[in-house]
């Protein structure tokens, strides 16, 4: 079964770059430009994981995560926070994100982080040194 990833970012270029990398890795992709649009997209098909920007208009990453948690259907969906915000790792950890990458990031690191979040064992893409615990949270 192909796993579905929801990519949420207000920057069209970043959104498409991330989507293309994940499609190439074999994932099915849904796109949203902000948290409000992401919540709408999730009503039709719940994703296996979410790649989420922190700073967006209408509903930012923080507000999205809070609303996602309130819905039992979506509460357990893992989140990879991608952001250029100062204090990104602390913010991601405070929000309960499962992993965090700072912009700019390597696409290989993004794909590896998503692989780990959804449990896709792709040993050729995995980085064994990048566990999702706090000691390596910044490396996601």
Q: Based on the structure, what is the number of domains in the chain?
A: 1
Our separate counts of H helices and E strands in the chain read 5, 5
Model confidence over 56-76: pLDDT tens digits?
998 999 999 999 999 999 999
Model confidence over 87-121: pLDDT tens digits?
778 888 888 899 999 888 999 999 999 999 998 65
Structural domain containing residue 130: 4-139
Q: What is the DSSP letter of 39?
A: H
Model confidence over 24-40: pLDDT tens digits?
999 999 999 999 999 99
99: closest CA among 118, 74, 71? Answer: 118
For the ranges 13-27, 45-59, 121-135, which has the lowest average pLDDT? Answer: 121-135
Q: Is the dihedral of CA 39, 33, 92, 129 positive or negative?
A: positive
* CATH code for the domain in which residue 20 is found: 3.40.50.2300
Long-range CB contacts for residues 70-76, cutoff 8 Å, separation at least 24 = 73/46, 74/42, 74/46
Please give the pLDDT value at position 125. Answer: 41
Question: What is the rounded average pLDDT of the residues 17-21?
Answer: 98
**86-115 burial, b for 16+ CB within 10 Å, e for fewer?**
eebbebbeebebbbbbbeebeeebbbbbbb
Q: Percent of the chain having pLDDT more than 90? A: 66
């Amino acid at each position: 079964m192909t796993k579905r990833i929801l990519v949420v970012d207000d920057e069209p270029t970043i959104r498409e770059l991330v989507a293309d990398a994940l499609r190439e890795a074999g994932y099915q992709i849904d796109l949203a430009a902000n948290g409000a649009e992401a919540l709408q997209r999730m009503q039709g098909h719940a994703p296996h994981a979410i790649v989420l920007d922190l700073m967006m208009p209408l509903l930012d990453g923080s507000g999205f995560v809070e609303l996602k948690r309130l819905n039992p259907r979506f509460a357990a969906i893992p989140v990879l926070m991608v952001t250029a915000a100062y204090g990104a790792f602390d913010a991601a950890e405070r929000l309960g994100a499962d992993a965090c990458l700072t912009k700019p990031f390597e696409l290989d690191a993004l794909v590896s982080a998503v692989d780990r979040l959804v449990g896709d064992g792709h040993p050729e893409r995995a980085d064994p040194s990048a566990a999702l615990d706090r000691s390596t949270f910044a490396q996601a």
